[in-house]
Amino acid sequence: MYEKSLYDRHAVFSKWTKSDEEALMDSMVADIQFTGNYFLTNNPSMNIKVKTGKYEGKLVLNTMITCGKRDVTDFLEYVTARPNLYAGHEWKIAEIFATWLSEGSPTVMKN
């Protein structure tokens, strides 16, 4: 939201720990929740209804406000499965999470 990176992408390869991963996940959840609250207060017209998928019938900003680690994990699994959509960009996590929600929160099919 305020142009601050959630992590140092170079540190992932040199000194990344499970604790770092958990802290990053907590930061992503907090950022998505914060952004949802911010826009619900400042631009509630953005709180559109999700038309398809797991969150069908729910409102985007309300879903962001109540999202948890499992929701973010589902989103990141989709990002991992579709890297060509995301690689090389520096988008805000909350922005692409909101887009993922509004587009029906596609998920990865697991065997």
Domain borders along the chain are: 11-102
> pLDDT tens digits, residue range 10-22?
566 677 788 888 9
Give pLDDT, residue 16: 73
The more confident residue out of 90 and 63 is 63
The more confident residue out of 36 and 24 is 36
pTM, 2 dp: 0.85
Q: What mean pLDDT do residues 30-56 have?
A: 96
pLDDT at 43 over 60: yes
Q: What mean pLDDT do residues 70-89 have?
A: 90
The more confident residue out of 11 and 69 is 69
Dihedral of CA atoms 93, 73, 84, 89 in degrees, nearest 10, equals 20
- Closest C-alpha among 48, 45, 65, 66 to residue 57: 48
Q: What mean pLDDT do residues 74-100 have?
A: 91
Q: What angle do CA 15, 13, 24 make, to 5 degrees?
A: 70
Task: Choose the weakest-confidence range: 15-19, 38-42, 59-63, 78-82.
Answer: 15-19
Who's near 72: CB < 8 A, 6+ residues apart? 25, 28, 29, 32, 97
